[in-house]
């Protein structure tokens, strides 16, 4: 093993020239910190060991931190699980499946299945509204690159499941179709996002009144208090 003391130091000329190898420019601290905060918000990252009472602090920062992000991961997982259960129940109770259903299996009532799907749809719409609010905020702060695209993919997957479910009736289907388009466009945003791409999405949101329709969607109005 070579001992440090035995090493021939690098020649001064080489050392000097090596300093120019991938010489780092100055770091933009403010932009970097903003990006870190946005990404931590998006992923719900929290320092281990930190007491939950810090929510007061987050509340104080409310104007800078979108509400959606703090619960994004839990919500998305919850929606996915709920959807799977809801769609499973829906399919079990769907007509023309008599040959597949076992006579002794406990079958939930159609009303139970319908409620589960409505809850899943309502949560999806609420989540989508929060995400799109975050998207708009990112556009305004010119910080779209820090947007959690993975969350858009999850929402898109949920949206497609809902489109295939009985809950996508004549009233809700058009909204889900518009939402699918917007979410699909957001998932295509990458590191080399062009302003035109972002403008296309925001124009699509405005033209279709997607945000307004999300807020007044029928699936959200039919739920009992406290579901969302």
Partner 1 sequence: MHPGGEWLRRVPRNPFQAGCVYVLSHGSNPAPGSQVDDKQLIGRIQAGDPAAERQFFETYADRIHRIVYRFVGDPEAAQDCVQETFIRAFDRLGTFRGESALGTWLGSIAVSVALNALRGRKRDEKRHAPWEAAEAVAAPSARVSEPDLKTRLHAEIDQLPEGYRMVFLLHDVEGYTHEEIGTMLGVQSGTSKAQLFRARARLRDRLADFAPEVSST
Name the DSSP class of 5. Answer: G
Question: At its nearest, how many Å lie between partner 1 and the CB of residue 14?
Answer: 6
Residue 35: its H or E element: helix 29-43
* Rounded CA separation 177/38 (Å): 28
CB nearer to partner 1: pick between 59 and 111: 59
Least distance in angstroms from the C-beta of 148 to partner 1: 12
Smallest separation (angstroms) from partner 1 to the CB of 24: 4
Q: Is residue 84 a contact residue for partner 1 (CB under 8 A)?
A: no
For residue 15 the two structure tokens come to 């050392």
* Rounded Cα distance, 61 and 46, in Å: 15
98 belongs to the binding site for partner 1 (CB under 8 A): no
Taking CB under 8 A as the rule, does residue 101 contact partner 1?
no
Query: Within positions 44 to 73, which residues make up the interface with partner 1, using CB under 8 A?
Result: 45-51, 53-54, 57, 61
184-198 burial, b if ≥16 CB within 10 A, otherwise e? Answer: ebbbebeeeeeeeeb
Give the separation between CA 190 and CA 144, rounded to whole angstroms: 9
For partner 1, the closer CB: 42 or 82: 42
Q: Figure out which of the listed residues 119, 163, 191, 210 binds partner 1, where binding follows CB under 8 A.
A: 191
Please identify which residue in the block is written with the tokens 């388009």. Answer: 181
Choosing from 36, 81, 94, 227, the residue that interacts with partner 1 (CB under 8 A) is: 36
With beta carbons less than 8 A apart as the criterion, state whether 170 and 70 touch.
no
Number of residues that bind partner 1 (CB under 8 A): 42
For the CB of residue 147, give the shortest distance to partner 1 in the complex, in Å: 13
CA distance 88 to 95: 14
Chain residues that interact with partner 1, rule: CB under 8 A: 1-4, 7-8, 10-15, 17-25, 27, 29, 32-33, 35-36, 39-40, 43, 45-51, 53-54, 57, 61, 191
């Amino acid at each position: 093993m070579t001992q440090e003391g035995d090493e021939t130091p690098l020649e001064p000329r080489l050392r000097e020239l090596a300093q120019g190898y991938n010489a780092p420019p100055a770091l933009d601290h403010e932009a970097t910190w903003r990006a870190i905060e946005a990404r931590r918000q998006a992923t719900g990252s929290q320092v281990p060991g930190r007491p939950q009472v810090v929510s007061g602090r987050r509340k104080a920062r409310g104007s800078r931190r979108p509400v959606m992000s703090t619960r994004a991961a839990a919500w998305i997982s919850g929606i996915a699980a709920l959807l799977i259960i809801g769609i499973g129940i829906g399919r079990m109770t769907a007509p023309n499946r008599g040959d597949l259903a076992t006579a002794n299996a406990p079958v939930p009532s159609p009303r139970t299945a319908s409620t589960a799907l409505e809850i899943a749809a309502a949560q999806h719409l609420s989540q989508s509204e929060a995400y799109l609010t975050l998207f708009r905020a990112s556009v305004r702060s010119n910080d779209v690159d820090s947007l959690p695209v993975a969350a858009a993919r999850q929402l898109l997957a949920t949206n497609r499941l809902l489109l295939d479910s009985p809950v996508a009736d004549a009233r809700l289907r058009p909204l889900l179709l518009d939402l699918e388009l917007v979410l699909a466009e957001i998932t295509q945003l990458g590191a080399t996002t062009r302003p035109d791409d972002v403008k296309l999405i925001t124009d699509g949101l405005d033209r279709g009144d997607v945000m307004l329709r999300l807020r007044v969607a029928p699936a959200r109005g039919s739920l009992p208090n406290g579901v969302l």
